[in-house]
Amino acid sequence: MKTYEVESFVKSFFIFLILLEILLAINFWYEFRVKKIELEKKIEIEMKLCAYTVQCEGLKTDFVDKGKDTEENILYKDNDFISYFALPNVKKSLMKVVYPRTKYEAHIQEIKVLLEKRFLLYSLVAALISFLFSIYALLPLHRALRLNEEFVKDILHDFNTPLTSMKINFQLFKKEIGPNPKIQRVENNIETILSLQNNLQVFLQEARTQVEYVELQTLTRERVSYFQVLYSDVAYHIDVPAVKIVTNRDAFIRILDNLLSNAGKYNKTSGEVFIVFSGTILSIKDTGKGIEEPSKVFRRYYKEQERGIGIGMHIVKKLCDEMHIGIEVKSQVHQGTEIRLDLSRIMG
Cβ atoms of residues 313 and 252 within 8 Å: no
Which of 88, 87, 90 has its CA nearest to residue 61?
Answer: 87
CATH number at residue 272: 3.30.565.10
> How many Å is the maximal CA-CA distance in the chain?
133
Domain count, the chain: 2
Q: Which of 104, 135, 166 is at the close of a domain?
A: 135
Predicted TM-score (pTM) above 0.85: no
pLDDT tens track, the chain, 348 positions: 666 778 888 888 999 999 999 999 999 999 999 999 999 999 989 888 888 887 888 888 888 888 767 777 788 787 888 888 887 777 788 888 899 998 999 999 999 999 999 999 999 999 999 999 988 888 887 787 777 777 666 676 667 677 777 777 777 777 788 777 777 777 777 776 776 676 666 666 654 557 889 999 999 999 999 888 878 889 999 999 999 999 988 889 989 988 998 999 889 989 999 999 999 999 999 999 899 888 888 887 788 776 666 778 888 998 898 889 999 999 999 899 999 999 999 997
Which residues touch 227 (CB under 8 Å, ≥6 apart)?
A: 236, 257, 260, 261, 264
Q: Which of 120, 135, 150 is at the close of a domain?
A: 135
Can you give the residue range of the structural domain that contains 44? 3-135
Residue 150 CA to residue 148 CA, distance in Å, equals 5
Query: Is residue 149 a part of any domain in this protein?
Result: no
Query: Is residue 151 a part of any domain in this protein?
Result: no
What distance lies between CA 37 and its chain's CA centroid? Answer: 44
| Helix, strand, coil fractions of the chain, as percent rounded to 5 | 60, 20, 25
Q: How would DSSP label each residue in 254-296?
A: HHHHHHHHHHHHTPPTT-EEEEEEETTEEEEEE-S---S-GGG
**Co-location of 247 and 340 in the same domain:** yes
**Co-location of 341 and 218 in the same domain:** yes
**Co-location of 243 and 119 in the same domain:** no
Q: What values do phi and psi take at 233, rounded to 5? A: -90, 0
Cβ atoms of residues 325 and 341 within 8 Å: yes
Query: Is residue 161 a part of any domain in this protein?
Result: no
